[in-house]
């Protein structure tokens, strides 16, 4: 049965964030990123829908952001001032009663104030996966960059470099976003599971439009919540991890069937 973390447990978790960052620095990594989006732990502390605490870690927006601020401070203390620390944060949760855009703006203002090196903007949770895309009737740039409106607001109030991930598929649009000083870094995720050499292809001008296969099972619930699409890319990543090439024609039905089998195996054998 889920229960509320104690103060001691929260402090231990914060310490683990810092220790993990220090291990990565010693291992040769050149920076770390705090995942503060998509419904993971930092995101849960920020969300009034999930965080229903009434102590110093929850309640008001200011108290709910305490966890992420302490995580950042602990990491900074351990890795030093010259080691880059970024964060991925939701522009909003897109859930009734969840983390709002106004609250998100206050969080990034505070992170900017205390010295974070990069803020990556995303949105949604796995219950409401806005990060997998939605339809827009606005300009081509805003259609491709799902959270561009938020980034434009953020640009006016913070000095920290901004990274926008979610929707970019046309290289010329990416270049336009940077040239117009809307973002400092363009983030790409799912395209790399199909185009492992995408960065080189972009810089060598071998590609302009990144084509992603359509995902349709005919089951409306699965086609609209992004589940099969996420699992499709996950299987591509597993292929790449085994030294195989991507499989653009991988059937969404086989992805769904495999996930059902894996779920059943986990429920029966526990692994």
Spell out where the chain has E strands. 32-36, 85-90, 118-122, 162-165, 185-187
Q: Point out the catalytic residue in the list 40, 126, 134, 266.
A: 40
Going by their DSSP bridges, the two strands 118-122 and 32-36 should be labelled as unpaired
Distances (CA, A) of 64 to 45, 57, 112: 6, 5, 17
253 catalytic, yes or no?
Answer: no
DSSP 165-182: ES---BHHHHHHHHHTTS
Question: Could you give the CA distance from residue 184 to residue 217 in angstroms, rounded to a whole number?
Answer: 37
Which of 172-181 are b and which e, b meaning 16 or more Cβ less than 10 Å from the residue's Cβ?
ebbeebeeee
The total of other beta-carbon atoms located within 10 Å of residue 34's CB is 21
Question: Could you give the CA distance from residue 4 to residue 67 in angstroms, rounded to a whole number?
Answer: 14
Which of 186-222 are b and which e, b meaning 16 or more Cβ less than 10 Å from the residue's Cβ?
bbbebbbbbbbebeeebeeeebeebebeebeeeeeeb
Catalytic residues: 40
């Amino acid at each position: 049965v889920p229960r509320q973390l104690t103060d001691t447990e929260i402090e231990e978790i914060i310490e683990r964030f810092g220790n993990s960052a220090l291990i990565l620095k010693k291992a040769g990594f050149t920076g770390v990123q705090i995942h503060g989006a998509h419904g993971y732990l930092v995101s849960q502390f920020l969300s009034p829908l999930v965080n229903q605490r009434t102590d110093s870690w929850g309640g008001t927006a200011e108290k709910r952001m305490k966890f992420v601020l302490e995580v950042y401070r602990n990491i900074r203390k351990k890795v030093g001032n010259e080691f880059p620390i970024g964060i991925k944060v939701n522009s909003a949760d897109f859930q009734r009663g969840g983390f709002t855009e106004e609250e998100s703006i206050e969080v990034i203002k505070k992170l900017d104030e205390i010295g974070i090196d990069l803020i990556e903007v995303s949105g949604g949770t796995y219950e409401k996966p806005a990060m997998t895309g939605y339809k827009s009737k606005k300009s081509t740039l805003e259609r491709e960059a799902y959270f561009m409106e938020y980034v434009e607001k953020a640009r006016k109030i913070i000095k920290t470099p901004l990274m926008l991930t979610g929707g970019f598929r046309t290289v010329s649009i990416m270049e336009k976003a940077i040239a117009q000083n809307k973002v400092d870094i363009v983030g790409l995720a799912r395209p790399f599971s199909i185009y492992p050499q995408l960065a080189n292809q972009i810089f060598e001008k071998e590609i302009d439009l990144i084509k992603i296969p359509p995902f349709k099972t005919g089951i409306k619930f699965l086609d609209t919540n992004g589940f099969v699409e996420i699992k499709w890319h996950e299987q591509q990543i597993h292929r790449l991890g085994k030294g195989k090439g991507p499989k653009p024609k991988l059937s969404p039905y086989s992805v769904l069937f495999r996930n059902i089998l894996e779920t059943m195996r986990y429920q029966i054998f526990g692994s």
